[in-house]
Amino acid sequence: MKAIIIEKQDDQQTTTLREVGDELLSAGDTLIEVEYSGLNYKDALAICHKPGVIRKWPMIPGIDLAGTVKSSDDSSFKPGDKVLLNGYGVGEVHTGGLAQQANVKSEWLVRLPKGIDAEQAMAIGTAGYTAMLCVLALEEQGITPETGEVLVTGAAGGVGSVAIAILAKLGYSITAVSGRQELKDYLQRLGAKTIVSRSDFEGKVKPLDKARFAGVVDVAGSTVLANAIAQTEYGGVVTACGLAAGMDLPTSVAPFILRGVKLIGIDSVMAPMSKRVEAWQRLARDLDLSLLKEMTHVIGMGDVKETAQHLLAGQLRGRTVVDVN
């Protein structure tokens, strides 16, 4: 089978695309014929040998995969079943989706929701499923289209693009923060009402700023998140899922103790199965598939290394699907 392999020797890592035997696959109870994988931020970090993602070598990267069950020790899965997988350490400590086969634990698998095929599932990928986890968290905390405006940071990226499309379909009014004003038309087509420059969120953080947003979906962290928190209305809800701007959070307790702002952390990797199934059912219902197509481009395995560099350089928009065959 064809696979992307990341190897490490004497602290030097290499990424190659080549034919390998299935003995390279991690142990699992279910063998999947992979049809599509994707390129997420984390995959790009791994493929470009940035620290913190891969913790076992040699490794097949790819935190997402979608395909068909070939065989399973779990009687609830039959050969031919269409499945997807996000996270659980796949592509980090367990061989991942950027290969024509994957051997995984059946308890990690989600059945493809009705109306979504393998390519669309990977167009959504971890980024889109995380966007939906953010939307679910806003809803659980009582944020509705009537409550007020929602801010989405990193708007032209994978999480941001899907979050805007979902929130727009649900009727929310959205302000998008982007470092790329040239993508204004794209962001408006997805459903953003207002586009603001990322530089407005990168400056000095006031403990409290003008209250403008009822909800926030943040992929950036650092001063972008701190400024978003400072601009959140009384009782508003901020969901934090990423660190595109940095790991730090230079804020104060003021928004929390004076405005009752809630900060909700979002993790997709170890999210419980019930939450995953809920998120995927809601994606099938609440994401406009024609917008998904517009935000997605499909590449082959030979393009993965170069595309990963472009992703980390912030040059891609929306989502990247990898056709592994």
Q: Which residues bind ligand NDP (CB under 6 A)?
A: 40-42, 126-127, 130, 154-160, 178-180, 198, 219-220, 224, 241-245, 266-269, 311, 314
Closer residue to ligand NDP, CB minimum distance, 138 or 245: 245
Q: Report d(CA 230, CA 250) in Å as an integer.
A: 11
Q: Report d(CA 147, CA 58) in Å as an integer.
A: 49
Closer residue to ligand NDP, CB minimum distance, 15 or 130: 130
Residue 3: which H helix or E strand, with range?
strand 2-9
Closer residue to ligand NDP, CB minimum distance, 41 or 280: 41
One-letter identity of residue 46: A
Nearest distance from C-beta of residue 206 to ligand NDP, angstroms? 18
One-letter identity of residue 22: D
The residue among 115, 120, 32, 116 whose CA lies nearest residue 77 is 32
Please give the span between the terminal C-alpha atoms of the chain, in angstroms, as a whole number: 9
Nearest distance from C-beta of residue 179 to ligand NDP, angstroms? 3
Residue nearest to ligand NDP (CB): 157
Q: Report d(CA 96, CA 175) in Å as an integer.
A: 35
Closer residue to ligand NDP, CB minimum distance, 15 or 268: 268
H helices present in 141-221, as ranges: 158-169, 184-190
Q: Report d(CA 88, CA 94) in Å as an integer.
A: 9
Closer residue to ligand NDP, CB minimum distance, 198 or 262: 198
Nearest distance from C-beta of residue 226 to ligand NDP, angstroms? 12
Q: Report d(CA 173, CA 147) in Å as an integer.
A: 10
Closer residue to ligand NDP, CB minimum distance, 67 or 157: 157
Nearest distance from C-beta of residue 234 to ligand NDP, angstroms? 26
Closer residue to ligand NDP, CB minimum distance, 40 or 147: 40
Q: Report d(CA 248, CA 72) in Å as an integer.
A: 43
Nearest distance from C-beta of residue 258 to ligand NDP, angstroms? 26
Nearest distance from C-beta of residue 141 to ligand NDP, angstroms? 17
Q: Report d(CA 110, CA 38) in Å as an integer.
A: 16
Give me the count of residues in the chain. 325
Question: Strand locations in 95-244, DSSP E?
Answer: 101-104, 110-111, 150-152, 174-178, 194-197, 213-218, 232-240
Nearest distance from C-beta of residue 158 to ligand NDP, angstroms? 3
